[in-house]
Amino acid sequence: MAVVDDIEQRLASKGRLFVTKTDFMTSILGAKIRQRLGITPQSTAETLARVLANECSDRLRLMRGGRSLYVVRALPDEAFLLDKAQRLTQFTANQLSTGLPLTQERFHQAFTQLLLQQQLVCIALKMRWIPVFRLATAITTAASVAPSVTDDRQLFHQAYLQIGRGRSFVPIHQLRSNLGWDKTRFDDLVRQLHAEESILLNMGDPTQLTSEEIGCSFQDDNGMLYLTLNWLDGSS
């Protein structure tokens, strides 16, 4: 099997159209593929871009979104928006853009295109006149095999209640350990819940935690470390 076929199968098994460079180098490639490609988890973005161009030029590419680098399937930008929109009941433009492998300029171009094609529709206005959107129709995307976000939300909330036992603030590292999900699945849901204002992320004092517990907490795209979270009333 060609390397690119193996990589695409691994992405599909996780229901992903893209992953961060870090997750790609560790959880997607694995040691055998890295050795075959002549790279390591510490390889630079320039090295990875060169390898992708040589091995997967027409099917995978390296892109920047926010402060992160992503390895993405070679699809139109609109596909990434539709894939995420399908997982949300409703959303603002800012919520939809969070965690996507696109610059703001590329996101707005793709978002505008979907509005013109009437694949996204405005359904309401939030406070301060912020428009809320949803998909116009049910759309099947390349990552339709991904775990249900609704199910993940329920599992996340159940774990929060189990660990919290009536406390408002729950350590993120305990949630991550309890659920046992891969880093991408857990972090993506935290980003989504935070963007939807379903949870509140709190920083706290990392000196009270072990290095392992800090590593299993949550770091956003700006490098801010959050140690605990609390579920906001009415968000379950």
Which domain CATH number covers 34?
A: 1.10.10
By the 10 Å C-beta count (0-12 exposed, 13-18 middle, 19+ buried), 1 is classed as exposed
Instruction: Kindly report, residue by residue over 174-229, the tens digit of the pLDDT.
Output: 998 888 888 888 999 999 898 888 899 999 888 888 887 888 899 988 888 999 99
Q: Is residue 236 part of a domain?
A: no
Q: Quick one: 56 and 99 in the same domain?
A: no
Q: Is residue 9 part of a domain?
A: yes
Phi, psi of 199 (to 5 degrees): -130, 160
Q: Quick one: 153 and 214 in the same domain?
A: yes
Q: What pLDDT is recorded for position 126?
A: 63
3-class secondary structure, 200: strand
The tokens for 97 are 């853009």
- Max avg pLDDT among 25-29, 64-68, 81-85, 230-234: 81-85
Mean pLDDT in the chain?
A: 83
As a whole number of angstroms, the distance between CA 103 and CA 51 comes to: 23
Q: Quick one: 154 and 215 in the same domain?
A: yes
Q: Quick one: 168 and 216 in the same domain?
A: yes
Q: Quick one: 164 and 120 in the same domain?
A: no
Q: Quick one: 67 and 94 in the same domain?
A: no
Instruction: Kindly report, residue by residue over 93-143, the tens digit of the pLDDT.
Output: 999 999 899 999 999 999 999 988 888 888 776 666 678 888 886 444 444
Q: Are 60 and 24 in contact (CB under 8 A)?
A: no
**Domain count for the chain:** 3
Q: Is residue 106 part of a domain?
A: yes
Q: Is residue 144 part of a domain?
A: no
Domain boundary among 73, 92, 124: 73
Q: Is residue 155 part of a domain?
A: yes
Q: Quick one: 153 and 225 in the same domain?
A: yes
Q: Quick one: 112 and 167 in the same domain?
A: no
Q: Does the structure show a pLDDT above 50 at 13?
A: yes
Q: Quick one: 185 and 223 in the same domain?
A: yes
DSSP at 63: E
Strand order in the sheet with 170-171: 170-171, 228-231, 199-202
Q: Is residue 142 part of a domain?
A: no
Domain boundary among 73, 102, 123: 73
Q: What pLDDT is recorded for position 140?
A: 41
Q: Quick one: 49 and 89 in the same domain?
A: no
Q: Is residue 128 part of a domain?
A: yes
Q: Is residue 14 part of a domain?
A: yes
As a whole number of angstroms, the distance between CA 109 and CA 130 comes to: 19
Q: Are 196 and 204 in contact (CB under 8 A)?
A: no
**Domain limits at 56?**
3-73
Q: Which of 103, 89, 230, 78 is nearest to 161 (CA)?
A: 230
Domain boundary among 36, 51, 73: 73
